Chains A and B, each alone.
Chain A
Amino acid sequence: MNHLLAKKKGHNGGYVKMISDEDIFNLPDDLDNPHDYDTDYKLEDDEWFGIGNFSEIDFCIDLLKNDFNSAEYIQIAIADYNGLKYLCSYQDNRYYYFQKLSNSHTVRRKWFSISQQPEIQNDNPIIILKELPDAIYDSEEDILYFKKLTSITTIFPKIGDLYKEATQKDTEQFLENEFINLSNDYDALKVKKANRKRIAMAMDTFNAFTQQQRSTIYDYIKEYCIDLEFSDTDKNFNIGSEENLKQLMYGIEQRYYTTTIGDEKRLANSITTM
Chain B
Amino acid sequence: MNFFYRLFLTFNATSLILVVFLVKEQVLINEIDCGLVNLPNYISYLVYFLVPVVMTYLSLLIARFLSKDNIKESSILSIEQANNTFLPSYLGYFFVALSVPYVETLIFAFAILFIFTFLSQTLYFNPLFLVFGYHFYYLNTTNNVQLFVITKKVLKEPKSIEIEQLRRINNFTFIDIKK
Interface residues of A (CB under 8 A from B): 1, 3, 17, 20-21, 66-72, 74-75, 93
CB pair A71 B168 closer than 8 Å: yes
What distance in Å separates the Cβ of B128 from its nearest Cβ neighbour in chain A?
24
What distance in Å separates the Cβ of B99 from its nearest Cβ neighbour in chain A?
39
What distance in Å separates the Cβ of A212 from its nearest Cβ neighbour in chain B?
60
CB pair B143 A71 closer than 8 Å: no
CB pair B67 A20 closer than 8 Å: yes
Say which residue of B71, B74, B142 sits within 8 Å of A71 (CB atoms). Answer: B71
What distance in Å separates the Cβ of B145 from its nearest Cβ neighbour in chain A?
4
CB pair A71 B68 closer than 8 Å: no
**A270 vs B72: C-alpha distance when bound (angstroms):** 44
Is B81's CB within 8 Å of the partner chain A?
no
By size class, the interface of chain B is 10 to 19
Interface residues of B (CB under 8 A from A): 67-72, 74-75, 141-143, 145, 147, 164, 166, 168, 171, 174
Q: List A contacts of B141 (CB < 8 A).
A: 67, 69, 71-72
What are 22 residue pairs bridging A and B, where the CB atoms are less than 8 Å apart in the complex?
A1-B68, A1-B69, A1-B70, A17-B67, A17-B69, A20-B68, A20-B70, A21-B68, A66-B143, A67-B72, A67-B75, A67-B142, A68-B72, A69-B143, A70-B69, A71-B71, A71-B145, A71-B166, A71-B168, A72-B145, A74-B171, A75-B171
Closest to A70 in B: B69
**A71 vs B143: C-alpha distance when bound (angstroms):** 11
CB pair B67 A72 closer than 8 Å: no
Closest to A72 in B: B145
Q: List A contacts of B147 (CB < 8 A).
A: 71-72
Q: List A contacts of B174 (CB < 8 A).
A: 71
Closest 7 CB pairs of A and B: A20-B68, A1-B70, A72-B145, A67-B75, A74-B171, A69-B75, A67-B142
Closest to B170 in A: A75
Question: Quick one: which of B70, B141, B147 has the most chain A CB within 10 A?
Answer: B70
Q: List A contacts of B69 (CB < 8 A).
A: 1, 3, 17, 20, 70-71
Q: List A contacts of B168 (CB < 8 A).
A: 71, 75
Closest to B166 in A: A71
CB pair A69 B71 closer than 8 Å: yes
Closest to B68 in A: A20
Q: List A contacts of B70 (CB < 8 A).
A: 1, 20, 70-71
* Known contacts A74-B171, A75-B168, A75-B171; A68/B67 CB under 8 A: no
Closest to B165 in A: A1
What distance in Å separates the Cβ of A254 from its nearest Cβ neighbour in chain B?
51
**A75 vs B67: C-alpha distance when bound (angstroms):** 9
CB pair B143 A72 closer than 8 Å: yes
**A45 vs B171: C-alpha distance when bound (angstroms):** 42
Question: Quick one: which of A66, A67, A69 has the most chain B CB within 10 A?
Answer: A69
What distance in Å separates the Cβ of A75 from its nearest Cβ neighbour in chain B?
6
What distance in Å separates the Cβ of A104 from its nearest Cβ neighbour in chain B?
28
Closest to B76 in A: A69
